[in-house]
Amino acid sequence: MAPSRPANRPQVKPGPPLPPKGATQASGASAGGPSRPANRQGSKPSAKSSSSPATPAPVARVAPRQRPLSSGPRRIATNLYSATGKRTIRELDAREMRVLLRVDFNVPLSDGKVVDDSRIRAAVPTIKALLEDGASIVIASHLGRPDGKVVDGLRLRPAAERLAHHLQMMVPTTGDALGVGTEDAVKRLRPGELVLLENVRFHAGEEKNDPAFAAKLASYADVFVNDGFGAAHRAHASTVGVAGILPSYVGLLMESEVEALSNLLDKPSRPFAAIVGGGKVSGKVAVLEALIQKVDLLILGGGVANTFLVASGRSVGKSLYESKMVEHARRILKLAAERGVKVLLPVDGVVAKEVTRGTEFKVVSTEKLPASWHMVDLGPDSITAMREALGSVKTILWNGPLGVFEIPAFGTATRELAKLAAEKAEAGATVVVGGGDSIAALQQLNLAGKMTHISTGGGASLEYLEGRDLPGLAVIPTAGSPFETMPILWEAPKPEKKPAPKPKAPAKKSE
Ligand code: ADP
Ligand code: MG
């Protein structure tokens, strides 16, 4: 019954079941390892080769839900409310349709295995909804920064393995986002089946939002669904270009991300506290400026706090801080004072001889930080002050660890905050956490599931909180709209790397 598949269409079968709660993602991923080469060619589900006898035979397709044939190509949604204000897949009757689905499978990898598959899990509800609706799905994602070239270490196969595990079905991958083999694989898709395109950033046209590349991707499908929140702040071919060509919708993850973040900005229960840590202020100045207009309390930690300590007249020794950002920090402190926002700066800290494991460290007051030491964590008095300040708070936004938490001895404040955030969420407060490292810290403690919302989009969530339009979202038509987006090309993306300036002086060597 299964159609024969071209040889270039490797299948990824579902991996073993997830380890029990409490085990790390990494161990779950690695358990599926050794049998991988055997999985590559498999065109038929083989129950015999399954690593665990309890694992059900993987399916190649999802049987569409039975529905009357009378409904038209676009579902008339009974409730057009969407947190995004955009057309969502609830308005789409995807039956028999081929859907180009943009997801964000830009996941951390180690030794060819996915270390944290949160972003993959987060895409599952939309994928399932579309498959059950009777759609076939062509999934597109980027991974890392291959800069328009094929980088073997950035192939999406490890992500396909995790997706196969979560869907309990085969996830074929293509060796390239373009090409005859890929076109063929797409053409063969039947309702309830999917295929994962290879990393779209292997083509330079992706980040350039090249119309020809977008047109190629669009040619695979009847409609476009964007569920890649983490890439929505990029105006690329697979986020924006295709939306100018195909009827477009947002997926369920995009919607829940925007809903959680917009609730924070528009109607937070007060008092509302932001806790901002992490290494550098430079990436967070804009969001701090926006947040200072919204919050009642701002707690600073990490390298970010060091820059603010300098701005308020303290010296921080050898600690990480950004001299260019001191003026910005001063302005933010001034804005906070004008608005009556309480700002909590560390009163004490853990200082270390070096930022390494096993080094000498001690707790000191931030009034007299020793000149040749690095501040690497908040001290106990600062943690107590944070706990007290958060006591009555009803909404928490947390971005950035409070210390160098990768080194366990310097992760006390981050761990304390993670536990406190979980307690607050359990007691009914809204707790939203963004930022890859902050989420990693929560996961180390197995507390991620306790939060109200964990944002899968680092840069995208910061830009959204700054009040900026996310191009990948802006380009989708309004909820209920019968009109499609004009085939415009959104503003050309800003070049991220400046080319080396050409020397003005006459060249000595001829080329
Ligand atoms: P997120 O990914 O949650 O947004 P960031 O990427 O902004 O967080 O920052 C995380 C990094 O900041 C971590 O690698 C951590 O070691 C570093 N960091 C935190 N506090 C300090 C500090 N006091 N000195 C140097 N680095 C720090
Ligand atoms: Mg980070």
Span from the CA of 277 to the centroid of ligand 2 (angstroms): 10
Q: Which of 369, 404, 417 to mutate to test the pocket of ligand 1 (most atoms within 8 A of CB)?
A: 404
Closest residue to atom 7 of ligand 1, CA basis? 278
Number of H helices, E strands in the chain: 16, 16
Q: Copy the structure tokens of residue 103.
A: 């997801």
Phi-psi category of residue 317: left, alpha or beta, with phi > 0 → left and psi -120 to 50 → alpha: left
Cis check: omega of the bond before 271, within 30 degrees of 0 = yes
For residue 438 and ligand 1, the question of a CB distance below 6 A is answered with yes
C-alpha to C-alpha distance for 164 and 341, rounded to whole angstroms: 47
In short, whether 279's Cβ falls inside 6 Å of ligand 1 is yes
Q: Is 303 in the pocket of ligand 1 (CB under 6 A)?
A: yes
The reply to whether the predicted model has a pTM over 0.75 is yes
- Residue 400 beta carbon below 6 angstroms from any ligand 1 atom: yes
pLDDT in tens, the chain (511 residues): 333 444 344 566 665 543 433 333 333 333 333 333 333 333 333 333 334 445 556 788 888 777 655 554 445 455 556 778 899 999 898 999 999 999 999 999 999 999 889 999 999 999 999 999 999 999 999 999 999 999 999 999 999 999 999 999 999 999 999 999 999 999 999 999 999 999 999 999 999 999 999 999 999 999 999 999 999 999 999 999 999 999 999 999 999 999 999 999 999 999 999 999 999 899 899 999 999 999 999 999 999 999 999 999 999 999 999 999 999 999 999 999 999 999 999 999 999 999 999 999 999 999 989 999 999 999 999 999 999 999 999 999 999 999 999 999 999 999 999 999 999 999 999 999 998 889 989 999 999 999 999 999 988 999 999 999 999 999 999 888 887 776 555 555 555 555 555 555 444 443 3
Q: Is 270 a catalytic residue?
A: no
Q: What angle do CA 201, 41, 202 make, to 5 degrees?
A: 10
Ligand in nearest proximity to the CA of 346: 1
Q: Which of 13, 102, 119, 201 is catalytic?
A: 119
**Active-site entry in 61, 280, 342, 419:** 280
Ligand nearest to the CA of 455: 1
What number does the ligand 1 atom closest to the CA of 278 have?
9
Q: Residue 412 and residue 433: Cα distance in Å, rounded?
A: 18
Measured in Å, residue 116 CA sits from the centre of ligand 2 at 14
Alpha helices in 408-500 (DSSP H): 412-426, 436-444, 458-465, 471-474
The DSSP secondary structure of 147-213, one letter per residue, reads TTS--GGG-SHHHHHHHHHHHTB---B-SSSSSHHHHHHHHT--TT-EEE---GGGSHHHHTT-HHH
Distance separating the N- and C-terminal Cα atoms of the chain: 62
Question: Tokens 């890392």 belong to which residue?
Answer: 144
119 belongs to the catalytic site: yes
